[in-house]
Amino acid sequence: MSGVRKLVLLGTGLIGGSFALALKRARLVQHVVGVGRNATNLERALDLNVIDEASHDAAAAVAGADLVLLGTPVGQMGALMQQIAPVLAADCIVTDGGSTKQDVSALFRQHLPRHLSHCVPGHPIAGSDLSGAAAAQYGLFEGRRVVLTPFAETAQNALEQVQTLWQQCGARVYTMTPEQHDGIFAAVSHVPHLLAFAYMNAVLAKVDAQPCLDFAATGFRDFTRIAGSHPEMWRDIAVANREAILADLKACASQLQHVIALVEAGNTEGMEDYFATASRARVAWGQRHK
């Protein structure tokens, strides 16, 4: 495989920064340019050698690039694509790290319609409640999964190049349709985040919120970890994957009504069955995903 001469990160955060670090360690990239809105964050990325050059100008930065990774919240991606469209080299591969794929695919189609052969939408499954370049880390993608949702138009060699780079970061790469991707991640990522936000707000609304938080322990810590996530990113995801998220949120709401009914009725047998079904499945999942 060929390495990358010039990688441009549009958005220099956890995903883009960790991707750059992994490729640097594998000696698969010569020069990394970080683009971002936040000067402090870019300075931090330079200091940490996550990037070699910082820029506020996406269009100027992508000149001569052979790989561009969009690593911003999805809401900013359309504008960035629009800025880079006129200056993108014909053989420059464009990929992204967005958590939703139907909307990002639509943005690629809208803003880079003549470039789709070199566009490879992707989602590295390595989310974190941390964000920013300072959170970038070596090994973030090791043993993780990356889902790619190529277009029918995507050239085989562009897809293979992106696959290979992620594999060199230690990830296992899967391809699926944007629809399959968004259905799966609504259920196992987006909805848990929204439930964690909702639960956290329920605690904060209590009159005794402070003593409650004082005595909260490890169960609370793990259950709410994702409630510390980036509000703007999750707003964009909730907009982008609205239909699948709403269907799953409503399914959770009706499961919650079922639990309320079981507790209200003091239905001990029903509760034990219901809890045991969840518990068995979660224990089995934990054993498979060690």
User: Which residues in 99-158 contact a second copy (CB under 8 A)?
Assistant: 125-129, 144-145, 147
State the helix-helix crossing angle for 191-204 and 242-265, rounded to 10 degrees. 50
Stretch that binds a second copy, among 1-9, 56-64, 158-166, 183-191 (CB under 8 A): 183-191
State which amino acid sits at residue 199: Y
Cα–Cα distance between 245 and 190 in angstroms, integer? Answer: 7
Stretch that binds a second copy, among 8-16, 24-32, 36-44, 195-203 (CB under 8 A): 195-203
Shortest distance, position 149 Cβ to a second copy, whole Å? 13
Ordered DSSP codes for 125-183: S---S--SGGG--TTTTTT-EEEE---TT--HHHHHHHHHHHHHTT-EEEE--HHHHHH
Please tell me whether residue 213 binds a second copy under the rule CB under 8 A. Answer: yes
Residue with smaller CB distance to a second copy, 138 or 275: 275
Q: DSSP letter at 289? A: T
Q: Which of 188, 183, 187, 101 is nearest to 150 (CA)?
A: 101
Which residues in 219-278 contact a second copy (CB under 8 A)? 219-232, 234-235, 238-239, 242, 245-246, 248-253, 255-260, 262-264, 266, 268, 271-278
- Residues touching a second copy, count (CB under 8 A): 92
Please tell me whether residue 289 binds a second copy under the rule CB under 8 A. Answer: yes
β-sheet with 29-35: strand ranges across: 53-55, 29-35, 4-10, 67-70, 93-96, 119-120
Please tell me whether residue 170 binds a second copy under the rule CB under 8 A. Answer: no
Please tell me whether residue 192 binds a second copy under the rule CB under 8 A. Answer: yes
Stretch that binds a second copy, among 17-25, 46-54, 88-96, 176-184 (CB under 8 A): 176-184
